[in-house]
């Protein structure tokens, strides 16, 4: 074994030069979007990061090897995989030990990014506290990970399928900064506004980069969550989505969906109930997050390589 994580040549070179790198999760490829849009979007996101002046590092476990940076063939293999495991902190090591293939959630991607010295990670939405969590106890391991692993995560807020007020409360308890980008409201994934004020607001990549480095200097540990609103032209308003989310949640309960199956089921059901519109919105917000993440990574790289 050459170390716990294998860097693509491109990622290794960027790291050696202190150049900006943005990590990308892969659960969105295997469990978040249908074939073949999943592969197209994975490629588009990598392109958006390159256009933003950074190097993309898609994270996944392929036949037991944890990678930061995939070749196009590897990306396609993953996008076509029918039985890839959905990996989080609990099961990444088991998947590797058994030589199997799995995609990484936000939590597992943060762990891998940190191992590879990558500061910034772009995704669609993080996991959170599910509706009905008072009965089901379904709270994503992503929240705990944000409190312990020092990576800045750019997402479009938490998905509207979650209980957003409870998700904010848990993040506050865990000491995770939730930073709305360019607005006061917390964004809610497919919608620009959750109807909740975000705890923090920042308006440019540079101060976000500075806060990332300041947290490290203070020894606080843990990451930052940057909640970047979906572009206005792509959003699905909250009022439109509310009954659809309610329907999807009811269907999930009726079918007895639990555990890791809940988020993929809801995403697929909402895709059906919106005639595919949710997928178009999802694609737009992921690309938007990739661009912001590249800008933040560039600022961090500048600050590290040219200290004031
Ligand atoms: N964002 C998407 N689609 C997804 C996810 C996020 O647009 O499929 C994934 C992320 O990988 C996130 C995971 O970490 O869902 C959360 O799953 P759970 O609720 O089981 O923790
Ligand atoms: Mn869960």
Helix (H, G, I), strand (E, B) or coil at 115: helix
Dump pLDDT digits (tens) for 149-191. Answer: 999 999 999 887 899 999 999 999 999 999 999 999 999 999 9
Non-local CB neighbours of 23 within 8 Å, separated by 6+ positions: 57, 58, 59, 68, 109, 112, 113, 116, 118, 120, 121, 122, 151
Q: What are the pLDDT digits (tens) for 193-249?
A: 999 999 999 999 999 999 999 999 999 999 999 999 999 999 999 999 999 999 999
Q: Is the CB of 266 under 6 A from ligand 1?
A: no
Ion ligand 2: residues, CB within 5 A, are 138
CA distance 140 to 158: 11
Number of the ligand closest to the Cα of 265: 1
Residue 2 is predicted with a pLDDT of: 66
Residue in 42, 85, 105, 109 to alter for ligand 1 test, most ligand atoms within 8 A of Cβ: 105
DSSP single-letter state for residue 186: P
Asked if 56 contacts 43 with a C-beta cutoff of 8 angstroms, the reply is no
Q: 28 in ligand 1 pocket by Cβ < 6 Å?
A: yes
Nearest ligand 1 atom to the CA of 138 is 19
State the CB neighbour count (10 A cutoff) for residue 139. 18
In the chain, where the domains are located = 6-305
pLDDT value at position 307?
67
And the tokens for 39?
């592969």
Cβ(25) – ligand 1 distance below 6 Å: yes
Determine contact, residues 139/174, Cβ cutoff 8 Å: no
Q: 21-69, pLDDT tens digit by residue?
A: 999 999 999 999 999 999 999 999 999 999 999 999 999 999 999 999 9
- The CA angle 51-57-62, to the nearest 5 degrees, is 140
Is it true that domain 6-305 has CATH number 3.40.1790.10?
yes
Question: What's the pLDDT score for residue 232?
Answer: 97
pLDDT score recorded for residue 308: 67
- 228 phi and psi angles, rounded to 5 deg: -105, 115
Separation of alpha carbons 209 and 119, rounded Å: 9
Give catalytic residue positions.
25, 159
Look over the chain and give the mean of its residue pLDDT values, rounded to a whole number. 96
pLDDT score of 306: 82
- What pLDDT, on the 0 to 100 scale, is given for residue 159? 82
Relative to the alpha carbon of 144, which ligand is closest? 1
φ, ψ dihedrals at 193, nearest 5°: -130, 135
Query: Which band of pLDDT confidence, cut at 50, 70 and 90, is reported for residue 192?
Result: very high
Alpha-helical segments (H) within the chain: 9-17, 27, 37-51, 72-80, 92-97, 106-115, 133-136, 141-148, 164-173, 205-218, 238-254, 262-273, 277-305
At residue 161, the pLDDT reads 85
Going by alpha carbons, the residue nearest to atom 19 of ligand 1 is 127
Q: Using a CB cutoff of 8 Å and minimum separation of 24, what contacts does 197-200 make?
A: 198/227, 199/168, 199/172
- The CB of 27 under 6 Å from ligand 1? The reply is yes
What average pLDDT does this structure show over 118-126? Answer: 97
User: What pTM did the predictor assign?
Assistant: 0.96
DSSP string of 193-232, one letter each residue: --SSB-SEEE-SHHHHHHHHHHHHHHT--S-EEEEPPPPG
Decide whether any atom of ligand 1 lies within 6 Å of the 124 Cβ: yes
**What tokens were used for 250?**
């009811």
pLDDT attached to residue 3: 86
């Amino acid at each position: 074994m050459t170390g716990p994580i294998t860097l693509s040549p491109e990622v290794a070179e960027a790291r050696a030069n202190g150049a900006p790198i943005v990590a990308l999760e892969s659960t969105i490829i295997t469990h978040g979007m249908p074939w073949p849009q999943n592969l197209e979007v994975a490629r588009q996101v990598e392109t958006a990061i390159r256009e933003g002046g950074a190097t993309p590092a898609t994270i996944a476990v392929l036949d037991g090897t944890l990678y930061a940076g995939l070749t196009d063939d590897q990306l396609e293999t993953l996008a076509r995989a029918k039985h890839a495991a959905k990996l989080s902190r609990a099961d990444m090591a088991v998947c590797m030990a058994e030589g199997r293939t799995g995609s990484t959630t936000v939590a597992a991607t943060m762990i891998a990014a940190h191992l590879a010295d990558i500061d910034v990670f772009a995704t669609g939405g993080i996991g959170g506290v599910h509706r009905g969590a008072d009965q089901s106890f379904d709270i994503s391991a992503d929240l705990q990970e944000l409190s312990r692993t020092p990576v800045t995560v750019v997402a479009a807020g938490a998905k509207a399928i979650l209980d957003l007020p409870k998700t904010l409360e848990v993040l506050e308890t865990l000491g995770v900064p939730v930073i709305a980008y360019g607005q006061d409201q917390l964004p809610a994934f497919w919608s620009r506004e959750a109807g909740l004020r975000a705890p923090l607001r920042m308006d440019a990549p540079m101060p976000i980069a500075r806060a990332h480095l300041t947290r490290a200097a203070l020894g606080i540990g843990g990451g930052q969550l940057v909640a970047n609103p979906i572009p206005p032209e792509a959003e699905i308003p909250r009022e439109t989505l509310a009954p659809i989310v309610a329907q999807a949640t009811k269907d999930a309960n009726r079918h007895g969906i639990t555990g890791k199956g809940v988020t993929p089921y809801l995403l697929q059901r909402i895709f059906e109930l919106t005639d595919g519109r949710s997928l178009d919105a999802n694609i737009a917000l992921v690309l938007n997050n990739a661009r912001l993440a590249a800008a933040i990574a560039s600022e961090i790289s500048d600050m590290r390589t040219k200290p004031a």
